[in-house]
Amino acid sequence: MNNSSAQPGHFYALGIGPGASDLLTVRAMRIIESADIILSPQAESSNRSLALATIAPYVQNQQIETINYPMQRDAVSTHERWQRVARQVEDWCKNGQSVAMITIGDPLIFATTCYLLQGLEPYLSADKIHIVPGISAFQIAASRFHDALTLQEDRLMLMSATKLDAVEAALSQCETLVLYKAGGVIHALLALLDKYRLRPAARLLSALEQGTDELVVENLEHFTPGVMHYMTTMIIHCGRRNWQNSNEET
Amino acid sequence: MNNSSAQPGHFYALGIGPGASDLLTVRAMRIIESADIILSPQAESSNRSLALATIAPYVQNQQIETINYPMQRDAVSTHERWQRVARQVEDWCKNGQSVAMITIGDPLIFATTCYLLQGLEPYLSADKIHIVPGISAFQIAASRFHDALTLQEDRLMLMSATKLDAVEAALSQCETLVLYKAGGVIHALLALLDKYRLRPAARLLSALEQGTDELVVENLEHFTPGVMHYMTTMIIHCGRRNWQNSNEET
């Protein structure tokens, strides 16, 4: 797929990174520029315009199709919704059109893309389905600091912050713990950090590279949370215990 | 840093992805195109030409500097080596040159970039140091299949395969386990998979998007390993137990 453009009858699941227009891959950019149809899934609770704003510099005459969906955990209705989208994608592809679905972050890391990929399986042969990875939120969060996420034998754990007991267990199972969706449970997370004296080892970030409302908390020691973005990321260096000790790592 | 080129006196740590020239970000591409000096660290045991081949389409008159280093675990000599590089980078930046260090994958995930970043701290102010994330090997490995790495409450663990007891513990601590450097311990890993009946839940990949010698083993059931690349990646879906059951996920 190197250096190629979108092919007729093919489907592309593209990760477009955190939000800045220059943080998607050259491959994703070229497929967006050459695709007939751009598919943009938009959760009701999310920043609806973010994905389309990210790719705006690369859009000219492509047909834009948005898929609005509620944030819910109903397996049956989720399945049915994405089945309908899959049949629509099948129609477009059978008509010889190329379809590119754009996803903030990486399409295989906590992304709804996966439901569509499951739905497409019966309709489109595997060689007509392509996935282009994107920069995930934890990568852009880490890039704001100048420390390693992982070195040598470090274990990195990436998970949602929503299950507190699982988060507490993870603190002793890895050297670097990355929590997505930390905004909604921030008070409970801070209490957990206090319990293990890990506040100096944790950082908090949200809306990075999205143009406005960036939050970067490098030091949580005296941090009092206000209203927080749902998609806030917390990075905890459980193993190193303290950012100030990072020079001891080799 | 959106849409900008490399600035005089600034240092950039750039992730350039797995190896294909179109799998780095637009931002990394623009910084490479506009930098005065490209710094390419090359481990003695690695594919020495890979990083420079990846960025070849974006290189014209930039000065290319390679840093050869042995793969070793000697903390003192590692520290001294990168201290010397840091002072060289400081000299270039103080002379008003822009320096871009390129790293296969992501510069903060198991990368030597971190040693240089530590070394640079005393010499270059933080606002002159920029990190651009890159697609890491686990992301491109997962993109070869059409399954989620993580959904909803899944925990993703990323670690080196070299400590077998840590790998065994991790099998029950996450839903998706990604092992780097699986090549050197492949027989022990297969025995571990057999112990937990996890062969159907595991996949093996190496040298993806590097032009030649790609290895993609989707089914390990009857797999007999030959000589393997040091940087082989294994993805194990411990939680889902079986790829065939992935449709049950919602």
Does residue B47 have a pLDDT over 90?
A: no
pLDDT of residue A172: 95
Residue among B108, B155, B170 minimizing CB distance to A142 = B108
Q: Which of A16, A123, A130, A139 to mutate to test the interface with B (most CBs of B within 10 A)?
A: A139
Tens of pLDDT, residues A156-169: 999 999 999 999 99
Tens of pLDDT, residues A12-34: 999 999 999 999 999 999 999 99
Does residue A125 have a pLDDT over 90?
A: yes
Tens of pLDDT, residues B143-178: 998 889 998 899 999 999 999 999 999 999 999 999
CA distance A114 to chain B (A): 6
Token duo for residue B223? 């797999």
CA distance B20 to chain A (A): 7
pLDDT of residue A136: 97
Does residue B243 have a pLDDT over 90?
A: no
Q: B-chain residues within 8 Å CB-CB of A126?
A: 146
Binned at pLDDT 50, 70 and 90, residue B80 comes out as confident
- C-alpha to C-alpha distance for B143 and A12, rounded to whole angstroms: 11
Does residue B9 have a pLDDT over 60?
A: yes
Binned at pLDDT 50, 70 and 90, residue A47 comes out as low
CA distance B143 to chain A (A): 5
Does residue A117 have a pLDDT over 80?
A: yes
Does residue B247 have a pLDDT over 50?
A: no
Complete DSSP assignment for chain A: -TT--PPTT-EEEEE-BSS-TTSSBHHHHHHHHH-SEEEEEEETTS-TTHHHHHHGGG-SSPEEEEEEE-----HHHHHHHHHHHHHHHHHHHHTT--EEEEESB-TTBS-THHHHHHHHTTTS-GGGEEEE----HHHHHHHTSSS-SB-TT--EEEEETT-HHHHHHHTTT-SEEEEES-GGGHHHHHHHHHHTT-GGGEEEEESTTSSS--EEES--TT----S--TT-EEEE-TTT--GGGGGG--
pLDDT of residue A46: 65
- C-alpha to C-alpha distance for B140 and A110, rounded to whole angstroms: 16
pLDDT of residue B46: 65
Does residue B191 have a pLDDT over 50?
A: yes
Q: A-chain residues within 8 Å CB-CB of B54?
A: none
Q: A-chain residues within 8 Å CB-CB of B21?
A: 2-3, 26
Residue among A2, A158, A250 minimizing CB distance to B75 = A250
pLDDT of residue B2: 44
Does residue A243 have a pLDDT over 70?
A: no
- C-alpha to C-alpha distance for B52 and B102, rounded to whole angstroms: 8
Binned at pLDDT 50, 70 and 90, residue B245 comes out as very low
What mean pLDDT, rounded, does chain A reach?
A: 90
What mean pLDDT, rounded, does chain B reach?
A: 90
Tens of pLDDT, residues B99-119: 999 999 999 999 988 889 989
Question: Which of A22-36, A48-62, A72-86, B133-147 bottoms out in mean pLDDT, i.e. has the lowest?
Answer: A72-86
Residue whose pair of structure tokens reads 């070394």 in the numeric block: B119
| Stronger pLDDT, B78 or A197, i.e. the higher one | A197
Mean pLDDT within A61-71: 88
Tens of pLDDT, residues B55-77: 999 999 999 999 887 776 677 78
